[in-house]
C-alpha cells in the first residue's frame, strides 16, 4: 500500500501544476485532493504506459516514467488523504 508521508515527500514535481494542497493551479489540470487512491494510481500507471495522449498527456508521461510502483502508490495515498477543495 501507499504511504502518505512518503507520498508527500515525492510530490514536489506534481505541486507545480496540481497545487501544494492538490488544488490545481489552472482549471485545465485536475484537482487531486481527495480523489480515490485507486483511481490516482491507475491514472499514473496509464500515463507511464503511454495509454494517454493529447493535451497534457506527454508531460504526464514524462513525469511518470521515472516513478516506481511504490512511488505511484505513495503519491496516490498522499493526494487521496487531502481534503478536497472546490
Tell whether residue 51 is a contact of a second copy (CB under 8 A): yes
Q: Which SS3 state, helix, strand or coil, does residue 85 take? A: coil
Q: Which is nearer to a second copy, 15 or 46 (CB)?
A: 46
Residue with cell 501544476: 17
User: Considering only CA atoms, which of 74, 85, 72, 84 is closest in space to residue 34?
Assistant: 84
Q: Which is nearer to a second copy, 15 or 42 (CB)?
A: 42
Kindly tell me which residue out of 1, 12, 66, 83 binds a second copy, with binding defined by CB under 8 A: 83
Tell whether residue 16 is a contact of a second copy (CB under 8 A): no
Query: For residue 45, how far is the Cα from the chain centroid?
Result: 10
Kindly tell me which residue out of 3, 6, 15, 24 binds a second copy, with binding defined by CB under 8 A: 24
Sign of CA dihedral 14, 46, 37, 6: negative
The residue ranges that bind a second copy (CB under 8 A) are: 24, 27-31, 34-39, 42-43, 46, 49, 51-55, 57, 83-86
Amino acid at each position: 500500500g501507499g504511504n502518505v508521508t512518503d507520498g508527500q515527500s515525492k510530490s514536489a514535481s506534481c505541486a507545480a501544476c496540481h497545487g501544494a494542497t492538490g488544488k490545481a493551479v489552472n482549471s485545465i489540470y485536475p484537482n487531486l485532493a481527495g480523489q480515490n487512491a485507486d483511481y490516482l494510481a491507475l491514472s499514473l500507471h496509464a500515463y507511464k504506459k503511454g495509454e494517454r495522449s493529447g493535451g497534457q498527456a506527454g508531460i504526464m508521461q514524462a513525469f511518470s516514467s521515472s516513478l516506481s510502483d511504490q512511488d505511484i502508490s505513495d503519491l496516490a495515498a498522499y493526494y487521496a488523504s487531502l481534503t478536497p477543495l472546490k
